[in-house]
Amino acid sequence: MFNRIRNFAGSMIWRPMASYFFLIFVFYVALRLYADDDVNASRAVLISLPFAAALSWIILKKIMQPLKEISEASREMARGNLDREIRIYSNDEIGNLARNINFLAHRLKLTIDEITEEKDRIRAILNSMGDGVVAVDRDRRVLLVNPAVERALNISGESIRGKDIVGVIRHYEFENNIKAALQNQKELTREIQVLTPDPKVYRVLFTPLKGTDRGGVVAVLRDITERRQLDQVRAEFIANISHELRTPLTTIKGFLETLLDGALEDRKISLRFLRIIDTETDRMKRLIDDLFSLSNIESRKVIPAREEVRMSEVVEKVLAAFSQAAGERGIRLASRLDPDFPVIVADEDMITRVVVNLVDNAIKYSQDRGRVVIEGGRSEGGEVFLSVSDRGIGIPEESLPRIFERLYRVDKARSREYGGSGLGLAIVKHIVEVHGGRIEVDSRPGLGSRFTVYLPVKQLP
């Protein structure tokens, strides 16, 4: 019993109760006094007035004002201002109510901050993703689009959010697949082509959204344009190589059949045919050797040696090797290397190959009685340069960007006539690049060409 009273007193509930009790008590006393005719009505009012006023004042201060503040503060919190704190006037029920509301607001703020942070993190991840992401609900309304999709499909994410995806994406295939994935609730992978803003190919994975009441589908777009282009280049290359090999093979087979059919009896004809077969076999061998070298350099199977190379010696060696072929056509070969041309650190065999291919081309594409000059020295940028110039047929401007491609030839017949494989410049470019250098070409049809190789100057450690 005693405990109960103590709890009651401790709970502070008694304060407003006591106020009401006291008010009723005063009212009762005034009524009794008045009823017993001890006092008249105005005296009874006068007696009870100070008590009533004092009580009203207490109720106003202790109950009404804090309640008003709590009501105002909670309204503001409901509007979103969770930083507002209610002042605590007393330690009673009302004070406790205010304290609890403050705590509630604080917890709510923490939870909202956590959710916002999580949302921001997810948005940042989606924004920085290279893959495009689009999500729609079961009614095909757009829930989310990341910038990669905006760029890929040329749309503005803000303007289409909440709208039916059909009609806003403006890609028939994409929309159809979204519909199919929604209908069948099955994962789909499709390749789609987009023409604007840039022609691209995407592999798109349409996955039904799980774990949400609103259902829907999420589509992830991966740009595979480069891979497709590479596949195409590879397929074209294989087709071209097959063609390059088929031509000499057909010739060889044709002559062999003629020989077997009886031409073998005629020694003169047989010799002529065998010479042609020999030339064609050489051509095939050269093509296969060049292909092999190119593939080795490209796949970095061959690591360039690091040795000191004296360019003047390389140039001298190459010019000596070509002197007979050039002489037969009256082409003069000359070299003008700077006397202080630095010793470079490179793979000597590879660098020799570069000079051989460039000089070979310069002779091949020169008119008879032309002139081929090799120059070299230090460039303005501090690198070393080596240029091979001729006064030959030159290269049309539209072909210049393509001459370093594998098997590209401006004049196929001329290239074949001189036994070109169409791989020489591709090999040169790759060798120069694995040495950290670059190659430039300057050419005018009818006036001649100049190929310049720039290499960084390196020291042996």
Give the residue with the Cβ less far from ligand ADP, 187 or 289.
289
Q: Is 403 in the site for ligand ADP (CB under 6 A)?
A: yes
Provide the minimum distance between the beta carbon of 449 and ligand ADP in the complex, in angstroms, as a whole number.
Answer: 4
Q: Is 287 in the site for ligand ADP (CB under 6 A)?
A: no
- Residue nearest ligand ADP, CB atom distance: 420
Q: Contacting ligand ADP (CB under 6 A), which of 409, 430, 435, 453? A: 409
Q: Is 297 in the site for ligand ADP (CB under 6 A)?
A: no
* One-character DSSP codes across 219-231: EEEEE-HHHHHHH
Which residue type occupies 266? D
Q: Contacting ligand ADP (CB under 6 A), which of 131, 375, 411, 442? A: 411
Residue partners of 80: CB distance under 8 A and separation at least 6: none
Q: Is 48 in the site for ligand ADP (CB under 6 A)?
A: no
- DSSP strand pairing (332-337 vs 371-378): parallel
Provide the minimum distance between the beta carbon of 428 and ligand ADP in the complex, in angstroms, as a whole number.
Answer: 7
Task: Assign 3-class secondary structure to 170-208.
Answer: CCHHHHHHHHHHHHHCCCEEEEEEECCCCCEEEEEEEEE
Give the residue with the Cβ less far from ligand ADP, 345 or 425.
425
Provide the minimum distance between the beta carbon of 217 and ligand ADP in the complex, in angstroms, as a whole number.
Answer: 50
Count residues contacting ligand ADP (CB under 6 A)?
23
Determine the Cα–Cα distance for residues 101 and 335; give it in Å rounded to an integer.
Answer: 93
Q: Is 393 in the site for ligand ADP (CB under 6 A)?
A: yes
Q: Contacting ligand ADP (CB under 6 A), which of 359, 415, 430, 453? A: 415
Q: Contacting ligand ADP (CB under 6 A), which of 345, 395, 431, 455? A: 395
Q: Which of residues 329-358 bind ligand ADP (CB under 6 A)?
A: 357
Distance (Å) of CA 202 to CA 131, 156, 181, 189, 449: 10, 19, 17, 10, 42
Determine the Cα–Cα distance for residues 221 and 130; give it in Å rounded to an integer.
Answer: 9
Give the residue with the Cβ less far from ligand ADP, 165 or 395.
395
Q: Is 362 in the site for ligand ADP (CB under 6 A)?
A: yes
Residue partners of 322: CB distance under 8 A and separation at least 6: 333, 359, 360, 363
Q: Contacting ligand ADP (CB under 6 A), which of 48, 293, 361, 452? A: 361
Determine the Cα–Cα distance for residues 304 and 455; give it in Å rounded to an integer.
Answer: 14
Beta-carbon count within 10 A of 100 CB: 11
Residue partners of 268: CB distance under 8 A and separation at least 6: none
Q: Contacting ligand ADP (CB under 6 A), which of 392, 431, 437, 455? A: 392
User: Which residues is 328 bridged to in the sheet?
Assistant: none
Provide the minimum distance between the beta carbon of 185 and ligand ADP in the complex, in angstroms, as a whole number.
Answer: 55
DSSP 402: G
Site string for ligand ADP, 242-271 (x = CB under 6 A): ------------------------------
What is the side-by-side order of every strand in the sheet holding 200-208?
142-145, 132-136, 217-223, 200-208, 188-194
Q: Which of residues 432-461 bind ligand ADP (CB under 6 A)?
A: 449
Two structure tokens written together for 132: 């495009």
Q: Is 420 in the site for ligand ADP (CB under 6 A)?
A: yes
Provide the minimum distance between the beta carbon of 152 and ligand ADP in the complex, in angstroms, as a whole number.
Answer: 37
Provide the minimum distance between the beta carbon of 404 and ligand ADP in the complex, in angstroms, as a whole number.
Answer: 7
Give the residue with the Cβ less far from ligand ADP, 280 or 390.
390
Give the residue with the Cβ less far from ligand ADP, 140 or 430.
430
Segment near ligand ADP (CB under 6 A), from 29-37, 210-218, 311-319, 421-429? 421-429
> 202 near 224, Cβ under 8 Å?
yes
> 142 near 160, Cβ under 8 Å?
yes
Provide the minimum distance between the beta carbon of 394 and ligand ADP in the complex, in angstroms, as a whole number.
Answer: 6
Segment near ligand ADP (CB under 6 A), from 85-93, 168-176, 378-386, 420-428? 420-428
Residue partners of 219: CB distance under 8 A and separation at least 6: 132, 133, 134, 135, 174, 177, 178, 181, 204, 205, 206, 207
Give the residue with the Cβ less far from ligand ADP, 370 or 437.
370
Distance (Å) of CA 441 to CA 176, 337, 461: 50, 19, 32
For residues 58, 59, 65, 66, the Cα torsion angle rounded to the nearest 10 degrees is 100
User: Which residues is 142 bridged to in the sheet?
Assistant: 136
Binding site for ligand ADP (CB under 6 A): 357, 361-362, 365, 390, 392-395, 403, 408-411, 415, 420-426, 449
